[in-house]
């Protein structure tokens, strides 16, 4: 690929979608996104530059290995995305595929079955193209970010600049694989939004599998085919229709399918000390250690507590969390070695703020408790409490009384609520979702426009 052709196509994408749309979460949900990141003092901006340099270093190869061609290109950048795409390629699909991950992807040890995944990288020529694009666009970007919110420069600069790397990287990837269909599990981070926009320009069809429960803060559905987990996702995305860049071309003939959850929830228990009786505590980066300590005090005497950090947690907070667990004698579930089903299988209760784990716990017959003090300031973000999927505890101090009440009277989540979020819940095809989606993909590749045939999957056109 020539220097000018790559840079010009990148500029064409940026003309229709500025960096604040390609980095959708920070660019369009600015205040809530910034609230997730604590102040790093005077080192905030230098750390952002170092993180950008890390992406460049790990994403550049002297002799990069070309990705093999395939009818379907799967791409992911996080463990949560991987967990919903991996079941598709390990369910004996009848089409050829290439599975590609970002260069910073931390591979889960439990995904060892997928041995042929490739990393998205650029060669030295591609890196030079990234540098050219970055040098030209950064002044414009800095002006836009300072006008929007100066904290975006200090705390999120790297994620905006990453768009330049991904625009170059994905152009090379699409030329190598030449897919008929690109499948993603995220619609709002720069590594995925850049790929979506390039596919639009090249008339390549795209498909989407949500990696978690969706919300009204999401981007409008910009995929030809969306394999949604439940009616909730469809209803939410209908409310997001205006959340798109007005200059970006719209995808025509968008089709949605209600397919249920694709993430495997195996019941094997990795913590034998906690079989069926433990209390799980799902933790995100917004949860203060002091709040966790107060929660732990309320749980005293109810059984073994297992901490479950969010798969994307790393750095100082994860180190502090591990130290806290060790000091308090808690077990700690590692998402890279223990899948969600194994973790949930050892529990009786799950306590969390806004997390899809609450929904999955309810579907497995566990007692999910939504704790508002761990909500990150957004009450019932996904609507699990409102739909009767989980119990609600407003304050940490009320937790013990709620556990005593539940231990005596029990708890049964609303089956209607569960079916609203998980379209396959209680249906005869529950557990067969990956195979059914693969059949739909095969129909799409055969230019059958994703016909469901005799499938029980519900289909909608947007």
Question: Between these two residues, 54 and 66, which has the higher pLDDT value?
Answer: 54
Confidence of residue 114 (pLDDT cuts 50, 70, 90): low
Q: Residue 459: inside a domain, yes or no?
A: no
Q: What is the mean pLDDT of the chain?
A: 88
Question: Average pLDDT for residues 153-157, to the nearest whole number?
Answer: 92
Q: Are residues 52 and 124 in the same domain?
A: yes
Domain boundary among 231, 258, 285: 258
**Residues in the chain, total:** 462
Q: Residue 319: inside a domain, yes or no?
A: yes
**What domain count does the chain have?**
2
Q: Are residues 67 and 212 in the same domain?
A: yes
Question: Is residue 169 exposed (0-12), middle (13-18) or buried (19+ Cβ within 10 Å)?
Answer: buried
Confidence of residue 166 (pLDDT cuts 50, 70, 90): very high
Confidence of residue 401 (pLDDT cuts 50, 70, 90): very high
Least confident of 103-107, 208-212, 275-279, 280-284: 275-279
Q: Are residues 329 and 249 in the same domain?
A: no
- Which residue range(s) make up the domain with 99? 3-258
Which pLDDT does position 269 carry in this prediction? 43
Domain boundary among 258, 285, 319: 258
Question: Average pLDDT for residues 109-120, to the nearest whole number?
Answer: 66
Which pLDDT does position 62 carry in this prediction? 77
- Which pLDDT tens digit goes with each residue over 355-371? 999 999 999 999 999 99
Residues whose CB falls within 8 Å of the CB of residue 33, separated by 6 or more in sequence, listed in order: 25, 26, 156
Q: Are strands 118-119 and 181-184 parallel, antiparallel or unpaired?
A: unpaired
- Which pLDDT tens digit goes with each residue over 250-271? 998 899 999 999 987 754 444 4
CB atoms within 10 A of CB 147: 9
- pTM here is 0.89
Nearest alpha-carbon partner for 433 in 91, 74, 71: 91
- Angle value at C-alpha 319, between 316 and 324, nearest 5 degrees: 125
- Based on its alpha-carbon atoms, the radius of gyration of the chain, rounded to whole angstroms, reads 22
Note whether 259 and 234 are within 8 A (CB): no
Confidence of residue 272 (pLDDT cuts 50, 70, 90): very low
pLDDT at 287 over 90: no
Q: Residue 75: inside a domain, yes or no?
A: yes
Please tell me the distance from the alpha carbon of residue 64 to that of residue 123, in angstroms, as a whole number: 6
Q: Residue 440: inside a domain, yes or no?
A: no
- CATH number of the structural domain spanning residue 396: 3.40.50.2000
Q: Are residues 279 and 132 in the same domain?
A: no
Q: Are residues 126 and 14 in the same domain?
A: yes
Domain boundary among 190, 225, 258: 258
- Which pLDDT tens digit goes with each residue over 72-102? 999 999 988 998 999 999 988 999 999 999 9
Note whether 209 and 83 are within 8 A (CB): no
Q: Residue 109: inside a domain, yes or no?
A: yes
Confidence of residue 378 (pLDDT cuts 50, 70, 90): confident
Q: Residue 434: inside a domain, yes or no?
A: no
Q: Residue 444: inside a domain, yes or no?
A: no
Q: Are residues 167 and 212 in the same domain?
A: yes
Q: Are residues 280 and 249 in the same domain?
A: no
Q: Are residues 138 and 251 in the same domain?
A: yes
Starting at the earlier edge strand, list the strands of the sheet with 181-184.
118-119, 97-101, 72-76, 181-184, 205-208, 225-228, 255-258, 458-461
Which pLDDT does position 115 carry in this prediction? 52
pLDDT at 299 over 50: yes
Q: Residue 431: inside a domain, yes or no?
A: no
Confidence of residue 456 (pLDDT cuts 50, 70, 90): low
- CATH number of the structural domain spanning residue 23: 3.40.50
Please tell me the distance from the alpha carbon of residue 209 to that of residue 15, in angstroms, as a whole number: 27
- Which pLDDT tens digit goes with each residue over 311-354? 887 778 888 999 999 999 899 998 888 888 889 988 999 999 99
């Amino acid at each position: 690929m020539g220097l000018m052709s790559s840079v010009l196509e990148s500029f064409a994408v940026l003309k229709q979608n500025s960096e604040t749309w390609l980095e959708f979460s920070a660019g369009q949900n600015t205040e809530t996104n910034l609230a997730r990141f604590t102040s790093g003092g005077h080192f905030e901006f230098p750390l952002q530059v170092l993180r950008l340099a890390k992406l460049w270093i790990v994403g550049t190869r002297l002799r990069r290995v070309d990705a093999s061609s395939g009818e379907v290109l799967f791409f992911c950048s996080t463990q949560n995305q991987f967990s919903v795409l991996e079941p598709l390629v390990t369910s004996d699909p009848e089409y050829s595929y290439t599975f590609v991950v970002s260069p910073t992807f931390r591979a889960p040890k439990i995904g060892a079955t997928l041995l042929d995944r490739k990393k998205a990288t650029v060669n030295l020529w591609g890196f030079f193209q990234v540098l050219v694009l970055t040098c030209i666009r950064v002044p414009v970007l800095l002006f836009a970010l300072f006008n929007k919110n100066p904290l975006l420069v200090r705390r999120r600069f790297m994620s905006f600049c990453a768009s330049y790397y991904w625009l170059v990287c994905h152009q090379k990837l699409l030329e190598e694989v030449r897919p008929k269909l690109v499948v993603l599990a995220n619609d709002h981070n720069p590594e995925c939004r850049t790929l979506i926009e390039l596919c639009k320009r090249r008339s390549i069809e795209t498909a989407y599998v949500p990696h978690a429960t969706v919300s009204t803060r999401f981007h409008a559905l910009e995929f030809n085919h969306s394999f949604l987990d439940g009616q909730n996702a469809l209803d939410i995305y209908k409310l997001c229709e205006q959340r798109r860049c007005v200059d970006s071309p719209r995808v025509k003939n968008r089709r949605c399918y209600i397919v249920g959850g694709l993430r495997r929830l195996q019941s094997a228990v990795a913590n034998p000390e906690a079989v069926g009786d433990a209390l799980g505590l799902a933790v995100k980066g917004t949860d203060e250690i002091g709040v966790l300590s107060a929660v732990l005090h309320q749980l005293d005497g109810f059984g073994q507590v297992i901490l479950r950090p969010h798969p994307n947690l790393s750095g100082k907070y994860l180190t502090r969390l591990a130290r806290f667990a060790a000091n308090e004698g808690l077990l700690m579930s590692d998402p890279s070695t223990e899948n969600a089903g194994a973790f949930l299988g050892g529990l009786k209760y799950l306590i969390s703020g806004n997390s899809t784990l609450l929904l999955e716990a309810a579907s497995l017959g566990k007692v999910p408790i939504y704790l508002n003090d761990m909500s990150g300031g957004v009450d019932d973000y996904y609507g699990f409490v409102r739909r009767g999927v989980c119990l609600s505890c407003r304050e940490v101090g009320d937790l013990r009384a709620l556990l005593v009440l539940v231990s005596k009277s029990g708890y049964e989540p609303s089956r209607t609520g569960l079916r609203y979020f998980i379209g396959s819940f209680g249906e005869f095809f529950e557990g067969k979702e990956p195979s059914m989606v693969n059949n739909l993909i095969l129909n799409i590749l055969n230019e059958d426009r994703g016909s469901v045939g005799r499938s029980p999957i519900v289909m909608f056109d947007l």
